[in-house]
């Protein structure tokens, strides 16, 4: 998929990510698909972590990553934007959801998702359906699935 649209940059937000390899893989996905990455701190690792560096390789461009010191700072910055929470607790399936160009797609931390207060704050929540009683997909896989559907709907 190739797209070069100055009027649209998809946005992925990670809530306190705690596995360096997943965040590195997400940075690569964002770099390849033209998405902006936002990281809500604290991270559970340093960007100098060797596991992070091994996966991110030369795909990291700090200019394409916005760091927010806290969830409060993130939601202040997003006050005029729609934030969609991707969660296994949602009823709505991602393919039944209508994405907009201005959306920020929020993913929780691998070990715990987002806290209840963040969950309650957001109106829009979607999930990826899974067979059987599986708990969840890998975070980087989930980002790729949702970001790809968002791009497909916006026809990029």
- Domain count of the chain? 1
**Cα 36 to Cα 46, 62, 103, 135, distances in angstroms:** 20, 10, 11, 27
Q: Are 107 and 138 in contact (CB under 8 A)?
A: no
Q: Is residue 1 part of a domain?
A: no
Q: Is residue 3 part of a domain?
A: no
Phi/psi of residue 155, each to 5°?
A: 60, 50
Residue 6: which residues within 8 A CB-CB, separation 6 or more? none
CA distance 2 to 21: 25
Top pLDDT among 65 and 148 is at 148
pLDDT tens digit sequence for 80-133? 999 999 999 999 999 999 999 999 999 999 989 999 999 999 999 999 999 988
Q: 94-116 burial by CB neighbour count: b if 16+ within 10 A, else e? A: beebebeeebbbbbbbbeebbee
Per-residue pLDDT at 136: 86
19 lies in which domain range?
Answer: 11-153
pLDDT tens digit sequence for 55-78? 666 667 666 789 999 999 999 999
**Residue 79 DSSP label:** T
Torsional sign, CA 126, 131, 132, 134: negative
Report pTM: 0.89
CA angle 28, 23, 96 (to 5 degrees): 80
CATH number of the structural domain spanning residue 84:
3.40.1280.10
Q: Which helix (H) or strand (E) holds 43?
A: none
Q: Is residue 5 part of a domain?
A: no
**Cα 156 to Cα 5, 116, 118, 148, distances in angstroms:** 8, 34, 30, 10
């Amino acid at each position: 998929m190739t797209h070069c649209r100055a009027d649209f940059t998809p946005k992925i937000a990670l809530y306190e990510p705690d596995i360096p390899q997943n965040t590195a893989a997400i940075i690569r996905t964002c770099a390849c698909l033209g998405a902006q990455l936002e990281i809500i701190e604290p991270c559970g690792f340093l960007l100098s972590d060797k596991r992070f560096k091994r996966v991110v390789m030369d795909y990291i461009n700090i200019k394409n990553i916005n760091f927010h010191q806290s969830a409060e700072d993130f939601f202040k910055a997003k006050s005029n934007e729609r934030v969609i929470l991707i969660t296994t607790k949602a009823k709505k399936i991602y393919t039944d959801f209508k994405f907009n160009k201005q959306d920020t797609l929020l993913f929780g931390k691998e070990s715990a998702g987002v806290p209840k207060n963040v969950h309650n704050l957001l109106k829009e929540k979607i999930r990826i359906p899974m067979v059987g009683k599986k708990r969840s997909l890998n975070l980087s896989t989930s980002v790729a699935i949702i970001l790809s559907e968002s791009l497909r709907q916006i026809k990029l």
